[in-house]
């Protein structure tokens, strides 16, 4: 698909390039030649059905998993394939909003957001306090500073996790299913924060989700994964209006199409009568 983003030089200086990535878990194949490019300072949304490898891509990009073959580039350098200083240095340029938020339950909101500063820098506590206060203000939760995570709503927990993800001013933030389990108001707040933080901080965002409406509302570019490869790509408008059967079925939530409603089985009447072929 040749689109306006490609023609306008949208991908001239990408921050991430995946080239012919192959990956599998034991007997289950996940990628069979994945190719995609993440443009800088944009919001790229990666969609697809459950089990298609959306979250796996984030694990490969962060160096937690290693591809069986292919090349994965971050900021003009290959993602290190083993634990080493280069991998840890690369991760300092990344922030991560986990699907379950992953706040440390025995630490206060303040200490959760302060954790990256204390672990990765030698900044004095007085400066850390100022920086944490600023990050919490950015997500509208400065008043929760002394609360424990158990005292927060699900949406507030997600926002504190986002404040922690942006603590060290990363070049790229990865969002793993950021809209799951949120009420409509909290979901709207997270959508707004992703867009505002991306634009205000000049960062790159990679959002993994199966929520079509929410993802498309903030996406500068969309990839649809299926069958171990990119099944479709383009702007949100192009994807929503696509007439390709697989893309159309997913984007519109159609119950039947290339992904069939019925799982392959023996003849129905034969099964009813208890005869096996």
In order of their start, the domains of the chain are: 4-93+170-272 (3.40.50.300)
Token readout for 28 is 């289950």
84 falls in which pLDDT band (50, 70, 90)?
confident
pLDDT in tens, 130-178: 999 999 999 999 999 999 999 999 999 999 999 999 999 999 999 999 9
Q: Is-contact 213 220, C-beta < 8 A?
A: no
Instruction: Give Cα 237 to chain centroid, integer Å.
Output: 20
Where would I find the beta strands (DSSP E) of the chain?
16-25, 28-38, 43-47, 69-74, 77-78, 94-97, 172-176, 204-208, 221-226, 229-234
- In order of 125, 130, 156, the CA distances from 145 in angstroms are 15, 12, 12
Task: Write down the pLDDT at residue 264.
Answer: 75
Q: Model confidence over 25-77: pLDDT tens digits?
A: 887 899 999 999 999 999 999 999 888 899 999 999 999 999 999 999 999 99
Question: What would the mean pLDDT of 198-203 be, rounded to a whole number?
Answer: 93
Nearest to 131 by CA among 94, 172, 98, 163: 163
pTM of the model: 0.89
pLDDT digits (tens, 9 = 90+) for 98-138: 988 899 999 999 999 999 999 999 999 999 999 999 999 99
Distances (CA, A) of 193 to 140, 189, 190, 200, 253: 10, 6, 5, 10, 26
Beta bridge partners of 206: 44, 174
Cβ–Cβ under 8 Å, residues 258 and 246: yes
């Amino acid at each position: 698909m040749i689109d306006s983003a490609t023609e306008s030089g949208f991908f001239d200086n990408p921050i991430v390039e995946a080239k012919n990535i192959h990956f599998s878990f034991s007997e289950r194949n996940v990628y069979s030649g994945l190719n995609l490019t993440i443009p800088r300072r944009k919001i790229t949304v990666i969609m697809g059905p459950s089990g298609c490898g959306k979250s796996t891509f984030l694990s490969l990009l962060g160096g937690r998993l290693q591809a069986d073959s292919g090349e994965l580039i971050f900021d003009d350098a290959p993602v290190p394939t083993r634990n080493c200083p280069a991998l840890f240095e690369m991760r300092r340029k990344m922030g991560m909003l986990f699907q379950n938020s992953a706040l440390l339950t025995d630490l206060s909101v303040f200490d959760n957001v302060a954790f990256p500063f204390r672990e990765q820098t030698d900044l004095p506590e007085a400066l850390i306090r100022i920086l944490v206060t600023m990050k919490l203000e950015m997500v509208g939760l400065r008043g929760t500073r002394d609360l424990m995570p158990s005292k927060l709503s699900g949406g507030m927990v997600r926002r504190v996790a986002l404040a922690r993800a942006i603590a060290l001013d990363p070049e790229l933030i990865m969002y793993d299913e950021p809209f799951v389990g949120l009420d409509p108001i909290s979901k709207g707040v997270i959508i707004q924060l992703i867009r505002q933080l991306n634009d205000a901080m000049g960062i790159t965002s990679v959002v993994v989700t199966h929520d079509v409406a929410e993802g498309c509302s903030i996406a500068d570019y969309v990839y649809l994964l299926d069958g171990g490869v990119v099944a479709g790509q383009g702007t949100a408008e192009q994807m929503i209006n696509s007439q390709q059967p697989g893309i159309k079925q997913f984007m519109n939530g159609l119950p039947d199409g290339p992904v069939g409603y019925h799982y392959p089985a023996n003849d129905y009447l034969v099964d009813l009568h208890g005869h096996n072929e």
